[in-house]
Amino acid sequence: MKITEDDIKQISNALGVEGTLSGNNYRFVIENEEDGRKLALEIYPDIPIGREKGNLISVYTHNTHLQLHFCTGFVVSDMLGEVTFIGENQGRLSGLIIEREAGCSLYSNVDASLLSGDFTKLGPEVMLSGIALSLTEGLLPGTE
């Protein structure tokens, strides 16, 4: 999957900021002055990562740097004001959620079966990842 200019426009709309092209990446700066939060999201479409090419998603905050290598898809939610980027490998899912209010969450190496399971049978510490990433279930291999 290659991230296109149309995808960048959808992401811009959901996050409420324009992405600027800078060399080989698109950069979004999201600020929430009321809560004192600010983050920068960088999307590197189809770049060399080791021996292969793929999408790299980077997030920078005042005290954190997160990266999702080989992003295999994303879901834009205008209603929630967020974008969920995922990387899937052998039934394990990592998701990076970026919010319009300059919030960010990372769920890494989650068993993909949690997304379609019965959340009420899970402990709250596990349930949150399944619920948060459930929007991406249609992007996984073997789903419609």
Full-model pTM: 0.90
Q: Is the pLDDT of residue 144 over 50?
A: no
**Exposure string over 70-102, b if 16+ CB within 10 A, otherwise e:** bbbbbbbeeeebbbbbbbbeeeebbbbbbbbbb
- Confidence grade of residue 70 (pLDDT, cut at 50, 70, 90): very high
* Adjacent-strand bridge partners of 52: 49
Structural domain boundaries enclosing 47:
5-111
Residue 142 located in a structural domain: no
Region 97-114: mean pLDDT is 92
Q: Is residue 87 part of a domain?
A: yes
- Is position 122 within any domain? no
Share of the chain above pLDDT 90, in %: 72
Alpha-carbon distance of 46 to 44, in angstroms, equals 7
The total number of structural domains that make up the chain: 1
Mean pLDDT, range 25-32, rounded to an integer: 98
pLDDT at 142 over 80: no
Q: Average model confidence (pLDDT) for the chain? A: 90
80 located within any domain: yes
Average pLDDT over residues 114-132: 75
Structural domain contains residue 104: yes
* 83 is a domain residue: yes
Is residue 121 assigned to a domain? no
Is 75 within a domain? yes
**Is residue 9 classed as helix, strand or coil in its secondary structure?**
helix
pLDDT at 40: 98
pLDDT of residue 86 exceeding 90: yes
When pLDDT is averaged across residues 61-67 and rounded to a whole number, the result is 95
